[in-house]
Amino acid sequence: MSTANAYLTVRGIDIDVIYKDIKNLHIGVYPPLGRVRVAAPERFDDDQVRLAVIQRLPWIKRQRETLRAARRQSEREMVTGESHYVWGLRRRLKVVERPGRTHFEVEGERLVLFTPSTTTAEQRRSALDQWYRQQLREAIPGVIQSWEQKLAVSVPGWTLRRMKTKWGSCNRATRHLWFNVELAKKHPDCLEYIVVHELAHYFESNHGERFARLMDKQMPDWRRRRDQLNGSPLAEEDWGER
């Protein structure tokens, strides 16, 4: 089965498009951030795909809101036995209540939280967020430095923040980069992919063919990394011929 790829932006939403030898068009919304992917018949062109997406925007927005609601409802209680992901590995949380500073350590296959018994779940979640940020602060500089050399570019600065719908972002005017704190939960290959993806925007503003060719040249397996980052679909809608 032959395939081709395109990258569109529709009403501010980035869309991954895969053209395949299929009969109907499928629209999927992927966790955890609501990435939208379209599998389209080869006979379709970008304008037809864009129109299909526009017509289904209410549905897409509902799916994205469902994702966000699910994320809010799944807030961790920060107790022993919970699962937390660290660099792509699922680790069981062990809570050790004792006086002193609240902090995390990785011990074997466990993520251990040392904390006073009086700390609340919110305080423990905040401590985990800070720990994830520290993991990224230690990992990102080396990845950026490596790709600065490969791409002959210079990154003036970068920031960590929580983002609802993006893993990373690039301001082409200032060349400043932003990275989603959630990346600390993903495999290091995913972090490297996002670094390269955002640096590629130094050269190409959108996700068109030139952007894809640049990514193909610099990171031939970037699609595998992207799929690894985005996981399985939340929902998928099958469009017959309209």
Residue 156 lies in a domain: yes
The candidate with the shortest Cα–Cα distance to 17, out of 169, 233, 208, is 208
Q: Identify whether the C-beta of residue 42 lies closer than 8 Å to the C-beta of residue 3.
A: no
In a domain, 217, yes or no: no
The first and second tokens of residue 36, run together, are 């939208």
Task: Indicate whether 224 belongs to any domain.
Answer: no
Q: 193 is written with which tokens? A: 């992919």
Give me the pLDDT at residue 2, please.
52
Task: State the Cα–Cα distance between residues 210 and 152, nearest whole angstrom.
Answer: 18
Examine the domain organization and report whether 29 and 51 are in the same domain. yes
Residue 56 in domain: yes
- pLDDT tens digit sequence for 31-64: 878 889 999 999 999 999 999 999 999 999 999 9
Q: What is the pTM of this model?
A: 0.79
Asked if 4 and 15 count as a contact pair (C-beta separation under 8 A), the reply is: no
Say yes or no: 172 and 61 in one domain: no
Range of the domain at 178: 83-203
Domain end (from 55, 74, 93): 74
69 and 105 together in one domain: no
Query: Over the stretch 105-125, which tens digit does the pLDDT of each residue have?
Result: 999 999 999 999 999 999 999
Same domain, 150 and 184: yes
User: How many other CB atoms sit within 10 Å of the CB of residue 26?
Assistant: 17
Measured in Å, how far apart are the chain's first and last C-alpha atoms?
Answer: 23
Q: Which of 70, 71, 94 shows the shortest CA–CA distance to 81?
A: 94
- Based on the domain organization, do 187 and 89 belong to the same domain? yes
Beta-bridge partner residues of 25:
239
Residue 241 has pLDDT above 50, yes or no: no
Domain end point (choices 50, 74, 98): 74
Verify that 96 and 13 share a domain, yes or no. no
Residue 119 domain-assigned (yes or no) = yes
HEC string of 37-90 equals EEEEECCCCHHHHHHHHHHCHHHHHHHHHHHHHHHHHCCCCCCCCCEEEECCEE
